[in-house]
Amino acid sequence: MIISPTDLEITDLEADAIVVGVDAQGTLTQEAREIDAATGGLLARLVAQEEISGKLGKVGILLAPPGLRAGQVAVVGLGESRQFGRGQAFRAAAAAAKRLAERRRRRVAFFLGDGWSEQQVESGICGAMVGCRGQDLYRTEKNLHAFEEILWDDAYETVLASGRILGESVNLTRQLVNEPPSRIYPESFAAEAEKFAEEFGLGIEVWDEQRLEEERCHALLAVARGSSRPPRLVILSHRGGGPDDPILALVGKGVTFDSGGLSIKPTDSMKTMKCDMAGAATVFGVMQAVARLELPVNVIGLAGLVENMVGGNAYKVGDVISARSGKTIEVLNTDAEGRLVLADVLDLALERKANRIIDLATLTGACMVALGTDVAGLMTNDQPWCDAVRQAADDCGEAVWQLPMFPDCYDEQIQSKVADIKNVGEGRWGGAITAAKFLEQFVGKTPWTHVDIAGPAFLENPKPWLDAGGTGVFVRTLVEVARRWTAEMNDA
């Protein structure tokens, strides 16, 4: 997809479609007013008649309007102007793109940057790229058709470039999640990482099962035992900072399919379990973006890749596993496998001298019960670090909510009578938090924030601005975290 600037007058531009905006108060953007003048007040009349809405993400289409050389005009709602930020820019552009992508378009021009900041324009470009791509990877007749070219009015080349990088990185994560488990399994997932690492200059290590055994990754290996697909552990590195600069570690859960193991899931619960590697896919998307943006910061991305299957060699309820750190774990539910994988990978992040850690995982249904399907849960051992992650998410328009980690309430729930800890808490209650308390056992005193993306990582039904399937949630947020980490380094 080509992303290009344009400074042509909107009435002179040849394009399959032009996108303009209107806010919740019915105020047309500058370019929309130009179209309104060229069409004899058509847009204003349609707004007055409520045929066109300023509700965020609502799209109205005008076919072959008079006075223009473009074939169509899409008028997208921008929502409340006083609340407009990067998240709204992303959704508005994505909604317009998704609606227009229902038909093949060669060139679509966006005139939405009226008064937008560079960050909002970047988010809008990212949204336009994400909105026109769907989960229909294997449909003969596509539901959505990516544009050949996106034009964006009055934008710097640097902003166009960074917006494109973000869009392609989000779409990488989405595609990895949307691929079937017969195509994305530990070995093939690691091979995908090797491809883009070579292309974009990332350092990479891939540990096979022999290396995992040598490195004492017995928790990860236990989960993998029931599958014929051997596990992998991927370590990506971007050394944009100095040799003595601190290291940000991003850790992703990469269960490429989760049957639940011997604690097997019912069929309906298995339907979306190809997405149980969304944490690892997010890390891969972020690492690609960090490398391509050439951020002057040191970031490592680590992903434990396994299948959790039923087999004669599968790990069992009642097993006791010694994790890489030496801590022993009693297994009381084989469907609480992601935390076992992460336990070994988090320990490796400590060994690689990470100064800050963020892990991402589709970890618990309990988080969805608590927060719904659109909000990620945050849990931490360091409030300032969690605040930094939350602020980046808020600024990017990705919904998060912090859950408590009170030691007196939760620590005892994961204590085992036969091992150091057990892999589930006491019953159903507080399951997202007890899972995080389990992970906390493997990060020591290093500032760490856990992000449970079980809800927002995968849409079962489409949104106005996004097709169903993988969402790429938190790619934009973590790139923002890395950018602010860069700024902190420069200030220091």
Using CA atoms, how far apart are residues 456 and 91, in angstroms rounded to an integer? 15
Does the structure show a pLDDT above 70 at 487? no
Among candidate residues 20, 110, 91, 98, the one with its CA nearest the CA of residue 62:
20
Percent of the chain scoring above 90 in pLDDT: 93
Q: What is the CATH number of the domain that holds 36?
A: 3.40.220.10
Q: How many CA atoms lie within 13 A of 270 on its CB side?
A: 16
CA dihedral 370, 279, 227, 424 (to 10 degrees): -30
Using CA atoms, how far apart are residues 424 and 335, in angstroms rounded to an integer? 10
Q: For residues 93 and 123, state if they share a domain.
A: yes
Does any domain span residue 165? Answer: no
Using CA atoms, how far apart are residues 232 and 335, in angstroms rounded to an integer? 19
Give the Å distances, CA to CA, from 61 to 46, 79, 172: 11, 17, 29
Known catalytic residue: 339?
A: yes
Q: For residues 118 and 177, state if they share a domain.
A: no
pTM metric for this prediction: 0.97
Q: What is the pLDDT of residues 136-158, one digit of tens each?
A: 999 999 999 999 999 999 889 99
Q: For residues 299 and 255, state if they share a domain.
A: yes
Q: For residues 9 and 33, state if they share a domain.
A: yes
The amino acid present at 260, given as its one-letter code, is: G
Among candidate residues 481, 23, 50, 4, the one with its CA nearest the CA of residue 287:
481
Q: For residues 83 and 190, state if they share a domain.
A: no
Do 414 and 421 form a contact (C-beta atoms < 8 A)?
yes
Does any domain span residue 164? Answer: no
Does any domain span residue 159? Answer: no
Phi-psi label, residue 154: left if phi above 0, alpha if psi -120 to 50, beta otherwise: left
Q: What is the pLDDT of residues 237-270, one digit of tens each?
A: 999 999 999 999 999 999 999 999 999 999 999 9
Backbone dihedral angles phi then psi of residue 272, each to the nearest 5 degrees: -105, 15
Q: For residues 131 and 13, state if they share a domain.
A: yes
Q: What is the CATH number of the domain that holds 469?
A: 3.40.630.10
Query: Which DSSP helix (H) or strand (E) runs through 394?
Result: helix 383-396
The angle subtended at Cα 325 by Cα 320 and Cα 327, nearest 5°, is 35
Q: For residues 253 and 144, state if they share a domain.
A: no
Among candidate residues 374, 196, 194, the one with its CA nearest the CA of residue 208:
194
99, 130, 154: which is the final residue of a domain? 154
Q: For residues 188 and 141, state if they share a domain.
A: no
Q: For residues 147 and 214, state if they share a domain.
A: no
154, 179, 207: which is the final residue of a domain? 154
The tally of domains found in the chain comes to 2
The amino acid present at 74, given as its one-letter code, is: A
What pLDDT band is residue 461 in, cutting at 50, 70 and 90?
Answer: very high
Q: For residues 130 and 187, state if they share a domain.
A: no
Among candidate residues 267, 253, 179, 260, the one with its CA nearest the CA of residue 227:
260
Does any domain span residue 14? Answer: yes
120, 154, 188: which is the final residue of a domain? 154
Does any domain span residue 191? Answer: yes
Does any domain span residue 99? Answer: yes
The structure tokens listed for 196 are 């883009």
Known catalytic residue: 265?
A: yes
Q: For residues 94 and 175, state if they share a domain.
A: no
Q: Report CA 227 to chain centroid distance, whole Å.
A: 27
Does the structure show a pLDDT above 90 at 488? no
Q: For residues 354 and 261, state if they share a domain.
A: yes
Does the structure show a pLDDT above 80 at 396? yes
Does any domain span residue 161? Answer: no
DSSP string for residues in 110-140: E---TT--HHHHHHHHHHHHHHT--S-TT-S
Residue 28's domain spans which residues? Answer: 2-154
Residues in Cβ contact with 425 at an 8 Å cutoff, skipping those fewer than 6 apart: 410, 413, 414, 431, 433, 434, 435, 437
Q: What is the pLDDT of residues 269-299, one digit of tens each?
A: 999 999 999 999 999 999 999 999 999 999 9
Does the structure show a pLDDT above 60 at 492? no
Q: What is the pLDDT of residues 160-202, one digit of tens each?
A: 999 999 999 999 999 999 999 999 999 999 999 999 999 999 9
Q: Which residue has the tokens 């058509």?
A: 42
Using CA atoms, how far apart are residues 219 and 148, in angstroms rounded to an integer? 46
**Which residue among the candidates 265, 316, 327, 463 is catalytic per the annotation?**
265
Backbone dihedral angles phi then psi of residue 342, each to the nearest 5 degrees: -65, -30
Does any domain span residue 297? Answer: yes
DSSP string for residues in 314-372: ---TT-EEE-TTS-EEE-S-TT--HHHHHHHHHHHHHHTT-SEEEEEE---HHHHHHH-
**Which residue among the candidates 105, 133, 339, 476 is catalytic per the annotation?**
339
